[in-house]
Amino acid sequence: MEVGRLIEAGLLAEDGLAKSEGGRRSSLLRIPHTAGLIAAVDLGATSTDVALSTLGGEILVHRGEPGDVKDGPRSVLDGAKGLLSELLAEQGADARDVLSIGVGVPGPVEHASGVLRSPPIMPGWDGFPIRAAFADEYDAPVFVDNDVNVMALGEHRDGVGKGEDNVLFVKIGTGIGGGIIADGHLQRGSQGCAGDIGHICVDPDGPVCSCGNKGCLEAMAAAPAIAAKAEQCAEEGLSLRLREVFEQRGALTARDVGEAASLGDYHALQIIRESGRLVGQVLATLVSTLNPSLIVVGGGVANIGNSLLAEIRSTVYQRSLPLATRNLSIVLSELDQTAGVTGASVLAAEGVLQTRVG
C-alpha cells in the first residue's frame, strides 16, 4: 500500500519483476530521476554549508562559506538561501525542482515543531520559525534537526557507519553531543533531545557548566575545558611549551594542547587523557545500555591527537560488559565537513518519503 502511494506520488517507479522465489513475484523498484532535488543546509557555529542531492542520496554539489549563527536567523538563513539559489542555477534548476529541504543547526531542536529551544550559542534563534523562512521561495517541506543528529545520519549513510544498525556518533568540540542510531534508525526520544550526552554529570563536585549544573561532561572534557586546564598549567609554569604559546598569544586552544602533546609535553598529554577518560566513562555506560557495534568520534577535538582516542578506547573496553564490547569498534569519523550536509539530505529525503506516504 505504501509502495503504491509512492508510485502515485512519482517518488518510486516500477522496474520490472524480480526473479520468482516461489509465491507471488515482487516488483523491482527504483527512484526515478524526475523525482526532484533534495536541498541540504548545515549551519555550524561559524560556517554555512549547502548541498544539492538526489532523493537516492547522491550529493550533486556542495558549497560552504563562513558565517556566524550569532548574526541571528534572518541574516544566516538568507545567506543559506542565497547559496542554494546559486547551486540550483548552476544545475540548470530552480526552487520548483526542490522536493524537500533538510536543515542541521547547532542547538536543541523540538522535533515535532522543528524549532530551536533555548539554544545556548544561538542568540535570537529561540523559537524562530525556520521552516517558514523557506516558504517564500520553496514549496517544499523543511525538516530541522540538531547538528549532531544530522551528522549521525550522515555517518550512517556515507561514513564509517554505513551498513551498521547500531551506531553511536559522538561529537567533541566546543560542546559534546551524541547521535544514536539504533536498529537502523536515528533515535530522537520523546522530545527530540535524545543523545544530549554533554550534560551527563561526571562529577557532582565538578565545575559549573553553562547549563547551570555542576560537573557536566561538556564542562569538564570539551574544547574550552581543555584550553582552560592548559592555561592554568601555563600560568603555574608546569609546562614550558604551553607557557610559551600562552605568553605569545594570551590564550590557548584545544589545538595548542594537541600540538604540545604531539611534541611530548607531559602535562598537555595528561589533559587530553583526562578528557578521553571522562568521555570514555560516559560512553561505557552507553555501551552497556545500547550495545552498539560502532562508536564514531568526530568534531574539532577528535583530531587533536591519537591519545584522546586511545584513552576513550581503553576506558570503554575496561568499564563496559565484555559481551557488549565483543564486536565493538571505536573509530574516528572520516567524513569531516561533509557529514553535516550528507545527513541533512538524508533527513530531508526520509522526511519527504514519510510525508508523501502518510
Candidates 39-47, 96-104, 181-189, 347-355: pick the segment binding a second copy (CB under 8 A).
Answer: 181-189
**146 touches 118 (CB < 8 A):** no
How far is the C-alpha of 213 from the C-alpha of 207, rounded, in Å?
9
Between 202 and 238, CB nearer to a second copy: 202
177 versus 305: smaller Cβ distance to a second copy: 177
Among 98, 101, 200, 304, contact with a second copy (rule: CB under 8 A): 200
Q: Is residue 205 a contact point for a second copy (CB under 8 A)?
A: no
Q: Which of 19, 20, 21, 23 binds a second copy (CB under 8 A)?
A: 23
Is 280 a residue that touches a second copy (CB under 8 A)?
A: no
Nearer to a second copy, 27 or 306 (CB): 27
CB of 6 to a second copy, least distance (A): 12
Q: What is the pairing mode between strands 167-172 and 294-298?
A: parallel
Q: How far is the CB of 150 from a second copy (least distance, A)?
A: 17
CA pair distance 306, 189, nearest whole angstrom: 33
The rounded Cα 61 to chain-centroid distance in angstroms is 20
Residue at grid coordinates 514549496 = 139
Member of 4, 10, 123, 207 binding a second copy (CB under 8 A): 4
- Within 10 angstroms of residue 338's Cβ, the number of other Cβ atoms is 20
The crossing angle, in degrees rounded to 10, of helices 266-290 and 240-249 is: 100
Which member of 85, 210, 293, 303 binds a second copy (CB under 8 A)?
A: 293
Query: Which three cell numbers mark 171?
Result: 561529537
Report the sign of the C-alpha dihedral through residues 332, 178, 289, 351, in that order: negative
Q: How far is CA 138 from the centre of its chain?
A: 25
Asked whether the CA dihedral 217, 222, 224, 229 is positive or negative, the reply is: positive
* Residue number with CB closer to a second copy (195 or 298): 195
Q: Is residue 229 involved in binding a second copy (CB under 8 A)?
A: no
- Round to whole Å and give the CA distance between 117 and 111: 10
Rounded to a whole number of angstroms, the minimum distance from the CB of residue 309 to a second copy is: 20
* Residue 316 in the binding site for a second copy (CB under 8 A): no
* Residues found near a second copy in the complex (CB under 8 A): 1, 3-5, 8, 23-24, 26-27, 108, 117-118, 164-166, 178, 180, 182-183, 185, 187-197, 199-201, 211, 213, 282, 284-286, 288-293, 319, 321, 323-324, 326-328
